[in-house]
A and B are shown apart, each in its own frame.
Chain A
Amino acid sequence: MLKSIQTALLSATLLGAALASPAHAETKINALFMAQAAYSEADVRAMTEAFTKANPDVTVNLEFVPYEGLHDKTVLAQGSGGGYDVVLFDVIWPAEYATNKVLLDVSDKITGDMKTGVLPGAWTTVEYQGKRYGMPWILDTKYLFYNKEILEKAGIKTPPKTWGELAEQAKVIKDKGLLATPIAWSWSQAEAAICDYTTLVSAYGGSFIKDGKPVFQTGGGLDALNYMVDSYKSGLTNPNSKEFLEEDVRRVFQNGEAAFALNWTYMYNMANDPKDSKVAGKVGVVPAPGIDGKSTVSAVNGSMGLGITSTSKHPDEAWKYITFMTSQQTQNQYAKLSLPIWASSYTDPAVSKGQEELIAAAKQSLAAMYPRPTTPKYQELSTALQQAVQESLLGQSKPEDALKTAAENSGL
């Protein structure tokens, strides 16, 4: 009797153990990334491989789309019942994603070490109305790159500290016949133009939205557009800027055809690579300038984060993966491509080696990062602003009128 009970208990235990999840259950998660230059597809695959080595019970399927397709693909997958567990998102989307419940609120998952270790400015990438929807992963802002050789030939000792000085120095370079159009920007009818515009808005101390209504038609928002138009009309800016994206700016700068260029972090190490660049070793980088009496530097928050979709069936494994991808160790390892989100990395000689100038600029710029407006209607607002920028540059309408129209079409 006793024996039979023992046997029964034992077999029950064994059966229970067999039914309980074994230690090596295979969990599959799907992640959506973008195809780009810094943190390329190969880099993301290498990081993921390191993750699965450390966590053999999780496999990660990776998918890559160009930036232009990232938002629509995420939203459409959500509309058709999910498919991704982890998605890469741009700093301009948390408002919309939170409102439409695309991403999980992960505020409770973020540890004390993360809260204190990650740069304060990086958190704005993943926040909306006090909640956090992921971890910042690509910390990025636009810097002012300059060609040291051209500045030297023009007799300019230090790169510009204000936007006014930038125009003066460009004029010297133009007048000395060194370059016909010294400044290059990405002002094509695309998000890129709004990143440049936002940088100037932050310099002029302007704002986009106040109490839910657009306020960029006056003050700093208008000053910023006026600066762009003046720079364009005076011939200091390369007129082709109005059809450039970031990669066009990089090409012009690398060919030595621009003395100044506004671009993201990634351009620094690429323009310094003698393999594709004519200006390798002559690349200078400083924070984008400020405006006398208003700001010392200016910067746009162009960062991106990793979040968990609300349809994910494996949020814990997804968070584990995000934690690994955004960890200080992973970020330091790839610091040549994209600067880490961790504050203490900036004093780590292993990270700054060979890019001291960029790190010095980053310390100032990252602290000054200015967000593009956080609104669920961002795409509409951005499209309206892109039109305003282009119409003003082309002289089809006055900046103040163009911005008024943009405010009317912003959907706000």
Chain B
Amino acid sequence: MTSNWITTRAWLLMLPLLIVMIAIIGWPLVDTVRLSFTDAKLVGTEGNFVGIDNYVKILSGSNFQRTLITTTMFAVLSVAAEMVIGVLAALLLNQQFYGRSVLRALMILPWALPTVVNATLWRLIYNPEYGALNAALTQIGLLDTYRSWLGEPGTALTALIVADCWKNFPLVALIALAALQAVPRDITAASMVDGAGAWSRFRFVIMPYLAGPLMVALVLRTIEAFKVFDIIWVMTRGGPANSTRTLSILVYQEAFSFQRAGSGASLALIVTLLVTVLAVAYAALIRKSAGAS
């Protein structure tokens, strides 16, 4: 058995998978890159080569810049909230108490429901005429008149972030809970004997176990939040006055509603590039933190 043969055999075994991957991911990506330099329409003509025109138009347009800011706000705020709530929920569910397993099962529910169902439920909750949120806030005296949560630019994005958190914090909580289960009990017991308070216990004893898995959760959630489409499309379609329009909605409109496949492809590639940069930066962070611990 020469090592050379082993290498060859490994590649041979990989070959079927490689062919499939190239067919379903590689080729469409190459074709998208090609499209992005043309003015092709969705139907009809192939389009002409226009160089970097599409990219210049998109990057200099106010639409793209405004949408990038909206998307970043949505991603940063919703992911930050999901991380905090997720960790708190995990710490709670890590305690010994009666009914813990029922609560754990319940917590998975929002995450297990399809996004469209979630979005429709929240739209009902936010309904300005008979929504549960208006009714609840009025009854406890926080509101005196019903409000149009998804109809005001000031509250629409926040309302969407809350709905997105509700759906996605369980994922963070699950990952964190799995990590917490791995913390040896004798270490936490020892730190209590040494007189560490709750905060220092969390910071110096539990956090090292949590850091790696939380980083993974952070990367997953950030990439997903950056590409958000369905929850917003169902709840506001990017309104009111485009205040909740995200990059994916912009791509959809460009490519399908306006049928400009060429600039739609450029826009999609710009978004892909942004997400890739984020993912690579995170990966470096994770490696660093793993090296540090």
Q: How far is the CA of A1 from the CA of B42 in the complex (A)?
A: 66
Contact stretch, chosen from A278-286, A315-323, A343-351, A386-394? A386-394
When distances are taken between beta carbons in the complex, the residues of chain B under 8 Å from A411 are 258
Is B48 close to A, CB under 8 A? no
**A243/B43 contact (C-beta < 8 A), A189-B239, A383-B257 known:** no
A189 close to B257 (CB less than 8 A): no
When distances are taken between beta carbons in the complex, the residues of chain B under 8 Å from A380 are 257-258
**A243/B151 contact (C-beta < 8 A), A72-B257, A251-B129, A383-B257 known:** yes
- Nearest neighbor of B259 in chain A, beta-carbon distance: A75
When distances are taken between beta carbons in the complex, the residues of chain B under 8 Å from A71 are 257
Is B238 close to A, CB under 8 A? yes
**A102/B43 contact (C-beta < 8 A), A239-B148, A383-B253 known:** yes
| Residue in contact with A391 in the complex, picked from B129, B148, B241, CB distance below 8 Å | B241
A387 close to B241 (CB less than 8 A): yes
Is B227 close to A, CB under 8 A? no
- Nearest neighbor of A71 in chain B, beta-carbon distance: B257
A240 close to B240 (CB less than 8 A): no
Is B153 close to A, CB under 8 A? yes
Range, interface on chain B: 20 to 34
- Interface flags for A69-100 (1: CB within 8 Å of B; 0: not) read 00110011011000000000000000010001
A72 close to B256 (CB less than 8 A): yes
- Give the number of residues in A that approach B within 8 Å (Cβ atoms): 33
Is B201 close to A, CB under 8 A? no
With most chain B CB atoms within 10 A of its CB, the pick from A71, A79, A243, A379 is: A243
Q: How far is the CA of A102 from the CA of B128 in the complex (A)?
A: 40
B157 nearest CB across to chain A (Å): 14
B237 close to A240 (CB less than 8 A): no
**A189/B43 contact (C-beta < 8 A), A240-B129, A380-B258 known:** no
B152 nearest CB across to chain A (Å): 8
A243 close to B239 (CB less than 8 A): yes
Is A257 close to B, CB under 8 A? yes
Is A21 close to B, CB under 8 A? no
| Residue in contact with B242 in the complex, picked from A189, A243, A252, A379, CB distance below 8 Å | A189
Shortest Cβ-Cβ A-B pairs, 8 listed: A189-B239, A243-B151, A390-B241, A240-B128, A391-B241, A379-B257, A79-B43, A100-B43
B binding-site residues for A, Cβ under 8 Å: 41-44, 128-129, 148, 150-153, 236-242, 253, 256-259
| A/B interface sample: 18 pairs, CB < 8 A | A75-B43, A75-B259, A79-B43, A101-B43, A188-B237, A188-B239, A189-B236, A189-B237, A239-B151, A240-B129, A240-B151, A243-B148, A243-B236, A243-B239, A257-B129, A379-B257, A380-B258, A394-B241
A binding-site residues for B, Cβ under 8 Å: 71-72, 75-76, 78-79, 96, 100-102, 188-190, 239-240, 242-243, 248, 251-252, 255, 257, 377, 379-380, 383, 386-387, 390-391, 394, 396, 411
